[in-house]
């Protein structure tokens, strides 16, 4: 039984209708030399056995760790209603809503998601989702190149390395010139960015808060970039936008980001959610699906996929992107999450993240030899200089039941003693204090 | 299908009307009809040089996108900005209100490579079969 | 239905946030604060639950409706895989853990799932190795195109062109273009396959790769596939297999055995992970022995002691294409599905998928034009050209099906067939469901003859009638705005 309903009698009847005598006759086009040389797989198992087997495997993962690890991917609380609603199989067993009349629920939900992302980023329009924050940044970069007709990108070193490496892989066969500012822990170095800006620059790519946790107001960078005819792309952390100045407010042209924080589990790297918003005038250059509101002939309001002439199924090799499947179900989770938290809740969660991180900084100040970097304000993640190799400390802290943070030496040569620590609303005062005591003990060893 | 006299046509269904040293360009009634309801037009910038049979504009309908090719080489001196906000003009009046751009002609000899109205009429009858 | 933004009331909340337990009152610096608060809904949990539950009911889905959408493989998605994917031992794992000092040991379960899925897929397709990283089918295609580029660069010349047939999915030429290639399109011959003479004409030393689906989008298995592969290889081009249609041939033929060098699969099609309203998908890429070194990093390696680790040691790799190791929970569901079905179960999938498609094709061929009438694989294409003479289009038939509770086939694709309707029943549908569908299609054909206006007016039983897509594209309304703005 492979979820196949056919009885033997039915199979016989169907073969007779088709006019063949056996199933094999249906595969006549697969001649002898096209048949498998091997198909050496185990035989199937029962549902119970498969579940037991995978429960065992899941227990080989360490999920008991108290999490202070972020680096772009955060351990936020997910309200139960998010799981309950996104588990409605009328949502999750549907396909892309190409037939609008039988997909109004999905289409309206995406329209609501687009509204929520526009509100969050302070920009005019959003698409219906992209794969993740990294590929979203790549898409934004290509979009800026299309809009400006230029091919130079100025990349701030505060942009998540995970995103940057994706971008570089994707563009390695294209004629694009990347220049990177040199590493600073704090806010973006204006001096460095301005040094590279010229009239060949398509875009400046920034991140806020940046990878080191620093928050910034990039208004001045935007002004300067625009004076050269370059666009500005800001990669943002959606929870921070509960209180942080928005890409729209600073005049930024395209905002992208990782939507994992909006109600998606960490799930070992996916599925996540890439979001993108932009100014009205660039909407036709935007990749991905877009839902629009319209009417039927009786004037009833309804929703459809619109501006499809940008997309691969119509424009093929001239499309704005090759994206087809996106992360619709993750986008649904995000809009449900944002609806539950609402206007006040999102601000309060953001404030709580900020307060807990600030408290943790103060607690860390009491550990001898540990230096919290305070060159700029941060949101819920910050950089700490340890008295010894961070990777080793991380390993020892794991043995004590903590995910200490992200050792910056992994991405940045010369920063072997630095650790990036994230504190979300889930961390309690008690956990933070015990965490500090464990760290102190590990460092005293 | 309406074909207007006294102007030239391309295989790709663009028309060009010579006005002294200048030329007015658009797409034909046949083209607008096969595209369906036009939803968007991307026009070239004034001052841009466009080349014969090379793409210079794009039109979109709900289910199609189509490149528009220049019937002649020249510099764009005027564009029909009204079209951007009222793309439906291209459906209702492809030869009058639906013009795309006016160019300063580079080389009038290039018109030898184009069809006149009667040749174009024959051409669209053939491709209809 | 009103939007969630239009429901609720000023100050209402849907979620209780823990009280601040840290003795600190730090003020987020004013300079960096957003000025305008986001206009998010102010609703209760019940408001949210009722709203989205009601929206869910305004959709067709596999769990509620027959969904014979060609090339999308809308088969049943078993529930036990959802249960597995929700295990906290899998959902709560931070993806950076195995990248930290000594961290590999913390995620052995997840690494093993990925490794074993790669093994399964390699055997199913006859490839030497897989990467599970690509996040969707099109992402897999792009990864494949980049591997093609790296292979040729490695051999001294990146080459210029990728060949695709005119029946290919739009993602194929789009992915090739994004990887920096120019695209050559080959027309379809009278048998519904890529025209091999035209193919030979275009095949030069400048061709980097040939992208094909097999069976193709017309549901036909190209018996000349080996000849095509030999021709491509003779000029040094690589053969790329778009696995969108693997459901037809699983256990019956393997891309690796018939000359393909690179394949991508769609776990959300063949391996039964839910489509999620358009995603998340998963588009793993498999390659032959020679191309293993170009796969994205990190790879998952099995150590001699039986443990699993991330392996970054491939210096010729195309690099990083995803943030981590793929859409893990999707991979997990596909893995559970394969373990459950096993060898015989997987073969049964292909057999019944092909049986169901042929059964429908034979019953419908009297009523609709069938451009390529031979035995099909898992799907087939009808044309509404006869009905068009009475002014009834494939779209009209689609809307009539909607009124009767059936999701329409894929329409207007492939572009090479006029008024195309591409039908893929999948193996999980019963004879009874197929009979009902066939009856409905015959009824539509009769109405096209006797009462075309009935079809033009459909759908009538849905929350909205046919929507004005021209208006949607001309007067863009892509988001809600609060009244006070």
Tell me how close the Cα of A93 comes to any Cα of chain B, in angstroms: 26
- Any domain includes B2: no
The rounded distance, in Å, linking the Cα atoms of A375 and A418 is: 14
For A17, B53, B58, C363, C439, the CA distances from A12, given in Å and listed in that order, are 9, 60, 55, 15, 20
| pLDDT tens digits for range A208-266 | 999 999 999 999 999 999 999 999 999 999 999 999 999 999 999 999 999 999 999 99
Percent of chain A, pLDDT > 90? 93
Count CB atoms within 10 A of the CB of residue A348.
20
> A234 - beta bridge partners?
A206, A255
- Any domain includes A374: yes
C37 touches chain B (CB under 8 A): no
Quickly state the pLDDT bin for A89 (edges 50, 70, 90).
very high
Ordered by start, the domain boundaries in chain C are 82-339, 348-471
Provide mean pLDDT across the span A30-51: 96
- Any domain includes B1: no
What pLDDT does residue A243 have? 98
Contacts of A343 (CB under 8 A, 6+ apart): C37, C38, C39, C40, C41, C42
Q: SS in 3 state form for A70-126?
A: CCCCCCCCCCHHHHHHHCCHHHHCCCCCCCHHHCHHHHHHHHHHHHHHHHHHCCCEE
The rounded distance, in Å, linking the Cα atoms of A224 and A227 is: 5
A215 token code pair: 């928050």
Q: What is the domain extent for residue B50? A: 8-128
Based on C-alpha coordinates, what's the Rg of chain B?
13
pTM: 0.96
| pLDDT tens digits for range A159-195 | 999 999 999 999 998 999 999 999 888 899 999 999 9
Look at residue A62 and tell me whether its pLDDT is greater than 70: yes
Provide mean pLDDT across the span A355-368: 96
Give me the CATH code for the C348-471 domain, please. Answer: 3.90.1150.10
C428 token code pair: 């999980």
User: Widest CA span of chain A, in angstroms?
Assistant: 84
Count CB atoms within 10 A of the CB of residue B17.
17
CATH number reported for the structural domain that contains residue A368 in this entry: 3.90.1150.10
**Closest of C169, C150, C149 to residue C214, by C-alpha:** C169
- Any domain includes A9: no
A368 with A331, same domain: the answer is no
| pLDDT tens digits for range C285-344 | 999 999 999 999 999 999 999 999 999 999 999 999 999 999 999 999 999 999 999 999
CATH number reported for the structural domain that contains residue B24 in this entry: 2.40.50.100
Contacts of A244 (CB under 8 A, 6+ apart): A208, A209, A215, A236, A237, A350, A379, C32, C33, C34
CATH number reported for the structural domain that contains residue A178 in this entry: 3.40.640.10
- The answer to whether residues A338 and A331 touch, using CB atoms and an 8 Å cutoff, is no
Q: Say if the Cβ atoms of C470 and B37 lie within 8 Å.
A: yes
Complex ipTM above 0.85? yes
A287 with A388, same domain: the answer is no
Of A286, A304, A337, the domain-final residue: A337
What pLDDT does residue A312 have? 86
Provide mean pLDDT across the span C231-259: 97
- What does the DSSP assignment read for A18-31? HT-SSGGGGGTTS-
- The answer to whether residues A414 and A381 touch, using CB atoms and an 8 Å cutoff, is no
- Any domain includes A22: no
* E-strand stretches of C98-167: 129-131, 161-165
A150 with A191, same domain: the answer is yes
- The answer to whether residues C380 and C283 touch, using CB atoms and an 8 Å cutoff, is no
A259 with A371, same domain: the answer is no
C50 touches chain A (CB under 8 A): no
What pLDDT does residue A57 have? 97
The rounded distance, in Å, linking the Cα atoms of C328 and C312 is: 19
Q: Which of B40, B62, B87 sits opposite C469 (nearest CB)?
A: B62
The rounded distance, in Å, linking the Cα atoms of A241 and A236 is: 8
CA dihedral A407, A412, A413, A416 (to 10 degrees): -20
Look at residue A145 and tell me whether its pLDDT is greater than 70: yes
What pLDDT does residue B63 have? 81
- B42-73 per-residue burial string, b: 16 or more CB within 10 A, e: under 16: ebbeeeeebebbeebbbbbbbbbbbebbbbbb
Mutant choice from B37, B59, B91 vs C, greatest count of C C-beta within 10 A: B37
Q: What is the domain extent for residue A136? A: 80-337
Provide mean pLDDT across the span A128-145: 97
Q: Say if the Cβ atoms of C336 and A54 lie within 8 Å.
A: yes
Q: Give, in degrees to the nearest 5, the angle at Cα C174 between C169 and C175.
A: 95
What pLDDT does residue C484 have? 61
Tell me how close the Cα of C130 comes to any Cα of chain B, in angstroms: 36
What pLDDT does residue C191 have? 85
Look up residue A42 and give its DSSP letter: P
| pLDDT tens digits for range A295-310 | 999 999 999 999 988 8
Show residues of chain C in contact with A294, CB under 8 Å: 467-469, 471-472, 475, 477
Tell me how close the Cα of B84 comes to any Cα of chain A, in angstroms: 12
B97 touches chain C (CB under 8 A): no
The residue whose two tokens read 């004005």 is: C468
Count of structural domains within chain B: 1
A120 touches chain C (CB under 8 A): yes
Look at residue C177 and tell me whether its pLDDT is greater than 70: yes
A256 token code pair: 């992208």
Count CB atoms within 10 A of the CB of residue A392.
15
> What kind of fold does domain C82-339 have according to CATH?
3.40.640
B31 CA to centre of own chain: 9
Q: Which phi and psi angles does A265 have, rounded to 5°?
A: -70, 160
A249 token code pair: 């407010």
Q: Say if the Cβ atoms of B65 and A315 lie within 8 Å.
A: yes
| pLDDT tens digits for range A197-210 | 999 999 999 999 99
Quickly state the pLDDT bin for B70 (edges 50, 70, 90).
very high
- Any domain includes B74: yes
Count of structural domains within chain A: 2
A302 with A377, same domain: the answer is no
Of A337, A359, A384, the domain-final residue: A337
For A183, B68, B111, B124, C289, the CA distances from B118, given in Å and listed in that order, are 68, 22, 15, 10, 61
Helix (H, G, I), strand (E, B) or coil at C70: coil
Question: Which H helix or E strand runs over B104?
Answer: strand B101-105
Percent of chain C, pLDDT > 90? 93
Tell me how close the Cα of A331 comes to any Cα of chain B, in angstroms: 25
Average pLDDT score over chain B? 93
Look at residue A56 and tell me whether its pLDDT is greater than 90: yes
What pLDDT does residue B129 have? 65
Helix (H, G, I), strand (E, B) or coil at A37: coil
Of A337, A370, A399, the domain-final residue: A337
Count CB atoms within 10 A of the CB of residue A347.
19
C348-471 and C82-339 share a CATH fold: no
| pLDDT tens digits for range B31-53 | 999 899 999 999 999 999 999 99
Quickly state the pLDDT bin for C413 (edges 50, 70, 90).
confident
Average pLDDT score over chain A? 96
């Amino acid at each position: 039984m492979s979820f196949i309903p056919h009885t033997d009698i039915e199979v016989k009847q169907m073969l007779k209708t088709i006019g063949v005598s056996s199933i094999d006759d249906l595969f006549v086009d697969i001649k002898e030399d096209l048949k498998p040389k091997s198909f050496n797989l185990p035989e199937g198992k029962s549902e119970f056995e498969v579940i037991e087997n995978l429960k065992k495997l899941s227990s080989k993962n360490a999920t008991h760790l108290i999490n202070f690890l972020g680096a772009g991917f955060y351990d936020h609380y997910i309200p139960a209603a998010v799981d309950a609603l996104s588990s409605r199989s009328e949502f999750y067993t549907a396909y892309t809503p190409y037939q609008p009349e039988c997909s109004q629920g999905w289409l309206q939900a995406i329209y609501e998601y687009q509204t929520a992302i526009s509100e969050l980023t302070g920009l005019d329009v959003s698409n219906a989702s992209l794969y993740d924050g990294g590929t979203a940044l790549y898409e934004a970069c290509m979009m800026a190149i299309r809009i400006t007709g230029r091919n130079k990108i100025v990349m701030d070193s505060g942009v998540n390395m995970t995103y940057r490496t994706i971008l570089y892989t994707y563009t390695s066969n294209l004629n694009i010139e990347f220049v990177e500012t040199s590493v600073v822990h704090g806010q973006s170095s204006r001096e460095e960015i301005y040094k590279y800006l010229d009239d060949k620059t398509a875009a400046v790519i920034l991140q806020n808060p940046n990878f080191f946790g620093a928050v910034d107001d990039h208004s001045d960078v935007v002004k300067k970039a625009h004076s050269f005819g370059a666009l500005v792309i800001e990669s943002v952390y959606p929870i921070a936008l509960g209180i942080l100045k928005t890409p729209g407010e600073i005049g930024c042209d395209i905002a992208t980001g990782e939507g994992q924080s909006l109600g998606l589990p960490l799930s070992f790297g996916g599925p996540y959610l890439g979001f993108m918003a932009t100014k009205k005038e660039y909407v036709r250059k935007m990749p991905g699906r877009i839902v629009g509101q319209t009417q039927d002939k009786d004037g009833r309001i309804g929703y459809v996929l619109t501006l499809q002439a940008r997309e691969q199924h119509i424009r093929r090799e001239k499309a704005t992107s090759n994206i087809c499947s996106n992360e619709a179900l993750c986008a649904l989770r995000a809009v449900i999450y944002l609806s539950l938290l609402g206007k006040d809740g999102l601000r309060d969660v953001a404030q709580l993240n900020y307060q807990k991180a600030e408290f943790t900084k103060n607690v860390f100040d009491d550990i001898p030899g540990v230096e919290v970097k305070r060159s700029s304000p941060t949101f819920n993640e910050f950089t700490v200089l340890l008295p010894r190799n961070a990777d080793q400390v991380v390993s020892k802290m794991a043995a004590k039941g903590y995910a200490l943070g992200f050792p910056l030496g992994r991405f940045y040569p010369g920063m072997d003693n630095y650790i990036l620590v994230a504190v979300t609303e889930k961390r309690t005062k008690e956990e933070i204090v015990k965490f500090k005591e464990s760290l102190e003990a590990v460092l005293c060893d | 299908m309406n074909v207007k006299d006294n102007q030239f046509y391309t295989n790709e269904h663009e028309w060009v009307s010579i006005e002294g040293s200048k030329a007015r360009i658009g797409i034909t009634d046949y083209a607008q009809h096969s595209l369906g309801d036009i939803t968007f037009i991307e026009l070239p910038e004034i001052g841009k040089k466009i080349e014969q049979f090379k793409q210079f504009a794009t039109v979109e309908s709900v289910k199609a996108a189509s490149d528009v090719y220049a019937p002649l080489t020249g510099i764009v001196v005027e564009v029909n900005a009204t079209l951007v906000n009222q793309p439906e003009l291209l459906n209702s009046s492809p030869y009058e209100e639906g013009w795309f751009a006016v160019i300063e002609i580079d080389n009038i000899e290039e018109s030898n490579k184009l069809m006149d109205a009667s040749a174009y009429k024959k051409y669209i009858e053939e491709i209809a079969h | 239905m009103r939007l969630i933004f239009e429901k609720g009331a000023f100050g209402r909340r849907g979620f209780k946030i823990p009280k601040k337990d840290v003795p600190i009152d730090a003020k987020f610096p004013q300079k960096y604060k957003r000025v305008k608060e986001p206009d998010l809904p102010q609703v209760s949990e019940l408001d949210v639950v009722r709203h989205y539950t009601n929206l869910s009911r305004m959709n067709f889905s596999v769990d509620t409706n027959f969904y014979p959408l060609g090339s999308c493989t809308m088969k049943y998605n078993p529930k036990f895989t959802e249960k597995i994917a929700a295990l906290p031992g899998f959902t709560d794992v931070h993806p950076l853990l195995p990248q930290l000092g000594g961290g590999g040991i913390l995620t052995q379960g997840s690494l093993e799932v990925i490794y074993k899925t790669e093994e399964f897929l390699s055997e199913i397709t006859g490839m030497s190795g897989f990467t599970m990283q690509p996040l969707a089918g099109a992402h897999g295609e792009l990864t494949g195109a980049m591997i093609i580029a790296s292979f040729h660069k490695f051999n001294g010349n990146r080459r210029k062109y990728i060949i695709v047939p005119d029946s290919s999915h739009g993602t194929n030429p789009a992915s090739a273009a994004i990887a920096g290639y120019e695209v050559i399109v080959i027309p379809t011959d009278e048998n519904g396959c890529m025209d091999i003479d035209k193919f030979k004409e275009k095949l030069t030393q400048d061709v980097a790769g040939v992208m094909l689906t097999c069976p193709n989008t017309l549901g036909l298995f190209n018996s000349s596939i080996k000849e095509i592969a030999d021709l491509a290889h003779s000029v040094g081009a690589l053969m790329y297999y778009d696995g969108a249609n693997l459901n037809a041939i699983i256990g019956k033929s393997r891309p690796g055995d018939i000359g393909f060098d690179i394949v991508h699969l769609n776990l959300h099609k063949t391996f039964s992970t839910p489509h999620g309203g358009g995603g998340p998908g998963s588009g793993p890429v498999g390659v032959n022995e020679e191309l293993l070194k170009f796969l994205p990093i990190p790879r998952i390696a099995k150590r001699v002691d039986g443990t699993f680790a991330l392996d970054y040691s491939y210096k010729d790799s195309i690099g990083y294409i995803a943030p981590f190791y793929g859409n893990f929970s999707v991979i997990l569901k596909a893995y559970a599905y394969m373990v459950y079905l096993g060898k015989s179960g997987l073969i049964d999938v292909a057999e019944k998928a092909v049986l169901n498609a042929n059964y429908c094709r034979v019953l419908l061929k009297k009523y609709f034009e069938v451009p390529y009438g031979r035995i099909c694989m898992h799907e087939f294409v009808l044309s509404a050209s006869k009905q068009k003479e009475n002014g009834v289009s494939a779209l009209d038939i689609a809307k009539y099906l909607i009124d009767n509770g059936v999701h329409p086939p894929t329409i207007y694709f492939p572009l090479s067939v006029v008024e195309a309707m591409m039908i893929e029943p999948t193996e999980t549908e019963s004879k009874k469901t197929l009979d009902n569908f066939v009856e409905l299609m015959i009824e539509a054909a009769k109405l096209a003859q006797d009462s075309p206006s009935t079809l033009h007016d459909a759908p009538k039983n849905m929350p909205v009638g046919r929507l004005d897509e021209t208006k949607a594209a001309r007067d863009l309304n892509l988001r809600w705005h609060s009244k006070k703005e």
